[in-house]
Amino acid sequence: QFRDNTLIVVFGASGDLAKKKTYPALFGLYRNGYLPKDVHIVGYARTKMDQEEYHKRTTSYIKNPNDDPEVAAQIEEFKKLSSYISGNYDDSPSFQNLARHMEAIEKSYQGRGVNRLFYLALPPSVFVPVSKYVKECCYATNGTNRIIVEKPFGKDLQSCRDLLSSLKQSWKEDETYRIDHYLGKEMVKNLLVLRFANVAMGAAWDKHSISNVQISFKEPFGTEGRGGYFDEFGIIRDILQNHLLQVLSILTMERPVSFASEDIRDEKQYLSCSHASFRSSQVKVLRAIPPIKREDVLLGQYVGANGKPGYLDDDTVPKDSVCPTFAATTLWINNERWEGVPFILKAGKALNEAKVEIRMQFKDVTQGIFKDISRNELVIRIQPSEAVYLKLNTKTPGYAFRAIPTEMDLTYKRRFTDTKIPEAYEALILDAIKGDHSNFVRDDELDVAWKIFTPILHWIDGKEGPRPKPSPYPYGSRGPKELDSFIEKLGYKRAAEE
């Protein structure tokens, strides 16, 4: 099932993404026996360093908090699978050098076909030259070639189209794997099962039952160390336009024809590549969402509090930056199923907790015989501690006859005690090794996603007049003070006990 003779090249091996996600994921796969036989990992970056320094660095990216000797031994073994080569991102000799390095490693495959996987953990400024030189100098003629790219895919609709067409000059769609790591998260994958394998859920999944939906992303830390990147992109491009919109489209799409990767991508609607139906379902629902209006947006920026620095205190951020570190936006889906239901996407850095969740609030019970009862709410917690729980009313136990709010709770760590939940990046890198496109982003999906967000992004960027000023919120708080009224005016009702 897994491809033997695989060579994985990590471009940007000394960068933030490689450190936080790529190497830990590769090690996770190795540890659990999921890397192919005879795999080799080549780290590539501009930094000049010898093999020893490279191994020291990459292994420092891997966590072994309890100094478990078994993990320590595995890290030593993992090192042996990897080597480093430095080079530029924009000249041919560097890539020819890389090609020679790869060929030397592949000699041990003794003429059997090779599988090359190129992982671009790189800033967007070098996506195009790297993909071009890799194709020119490092493309295997006796095996498969795949390229993994990461967001940001442009900054708006036009720049995304330009980027995609440049990448397409070198790489075919079925060789390209665009990561949105939220598609690799266990709970995001579970949405399909929750929706389409349960009559009880499916029946309530529309405007007749649902009053409003919130999809929230909260991080308890700021942009420390990434201020330069972040200031150019802002929270909408960092989280809402990709991660949260992916969640929204899976939550709201119609049932795909099947789970073949092309079927999933088609219910989102597919135009130009070979992988079709689940994603098409997603694209189809995204097409029903008109561009977001200014009045449907709330922006915020964190300021120093509780001994923590404000966004503007970061030296890499311009002192007068109005870049939003928090945003809440309301999206409307103009189709039969969802028309009139507000979908609130909200995300923020430097908030009071780490949490990503979906909250679907049901409508009030009509003509009820009970007074002051809370609405039902289905909460799907993506992280931390995956859970699905349904808030419902039950009779207070005992002699009294009253309805009180309670919960039906499926918390994974209590229910599935022995199951290891794979990290999103582990799952996605494994999919790319196997050649499975189901959980990667299609080109047409990016196009519709940018159409929804581009007008407000141009407004925020100051392309249509003065830039809007974000509302300040203290580091470690719940967000801007206007947030509660923003959500309540869309019909969200707090539960009686809150």
Residue 45 bridge partners (DSSP): 86
Work out how close the CB of 356 gets to ligand BG6 at its nearest, in angstroms, rounded to a whole number: 6
From 243, 275, 437, 458, the catalytic residue: 243
In the region spanning residues 277 to 296, those forming contacts with ligand BG6, defined by CB under 6 A, are none
Question: Can you say how many angstroms the Cα of residue 273 is from the centroid of all Cα atoms in its chain?
Answer: 22
Q: Between 92-106 and 127-138, two packed helices, what is the crossing angle to 10 degrees?
A: 50
Place of tokens 């407000």: 456
Token pair for 220: 């308890």
Q: Which is nearer to ligand BG6, 51 or 316 (CB)?
A: 316
32 CB-near residues (< 8 Å, 6+ apart): 420, 422, 426
Closest approach of Cβ 169 to ligand BG6, in Å? 26
Q: Which is nearer to ligand BG6, 329 or 383 (CB)?
A: 383
Q: Which of residues 180-219 bind ligand BG6 (CB under 6 A)?
A: 181, 219
Helices and strands, number each (H, E), in the chain: 17, 15
State which residue, 276 or 356, has the beta carbon closest to ligand BG6.
356
Minimum gap (Å) between residue 161 Cβ and ligand BG6 = 21
d(CA 489, CA 363): 15
Which of 206, 224 has the CB closer to ligand BG6? Answer: 224
Please report where in the chains the tokens 């609709």 appear, as a residue.
157
- Binding mask of the shown chain, residues 393 to 422, with x at each position contacting ligand BG6 by CB under 6 A: ------------------------------
386 binds ligand BG6 (CB under 6 A): no
We find the least distance from the C-beta atom of residue 221 to ligand BG6, in angstroms, to be 8
Is 219 or 445 the residue whose CB approaches ligand BG6 more closely? 219
Residue of minimal Cβ distance to ligand BG6: 238
Contact 43, 7 (CB under 8 A): no
Closest CA to 79 of 120, 118, 26: 26
Q: How many residues are present in the chain?
A: 498
Tokens for 210?
């649902």
Q: 88 exposed, middle or buried (CB, 10 Å; 0-12, 13-18, 19+)?
A: middle
Query: Which of positions 227-256 make contact with ligand BG6 (CB under 6 A)?
Result: 238
**Strand order across the 377-383 sheet:** 403-411, 387-395, 377-383, 355-362, 210-218, 342-348, 326-332, 297-303, 471-474
* Alpha helices per DSSP H over 61-113: 69-79, 92-106
Residue 275 is a catalytic residue: no
219/447 with CB nearer ligand BG6: 219
Of 219 and 431, the one with the shorter C-beta distance to ligand BG6 is 219
Query: Interface mask (CB under 6 A) for ligand BG6, residues 164-183, using x and -?
Result: -----------------x--
Give the binding-site size for ligand BG6 (rule: CB under 6 A): 4
Secondary element (H or E) of residue 251? helix 245-252
Q: For the CB of residue 190, give the shortest distance to ligand BG6 in the complex, in Å.
A: 16
Minimum distance from CB of 427 to ligand BG6 (Å)?
A: 12
State the angle between helix axes of 245-252 and 277-287 in degrees (0 to 180), rounded to the nearest 10.
100
Which residues, in sequence order, are bridge partners of residue 389? 379, 409
- Shortest Cβ 238–ligand BG6 spacing (Å): 5
Site residues for ligand BG6, 343-362, by CB under 6 A, read 356
List the catalytic residues: 243
Give the interface with ligand BG6 as residue ranges (CB under 6 A).
181, 219, 238, 356
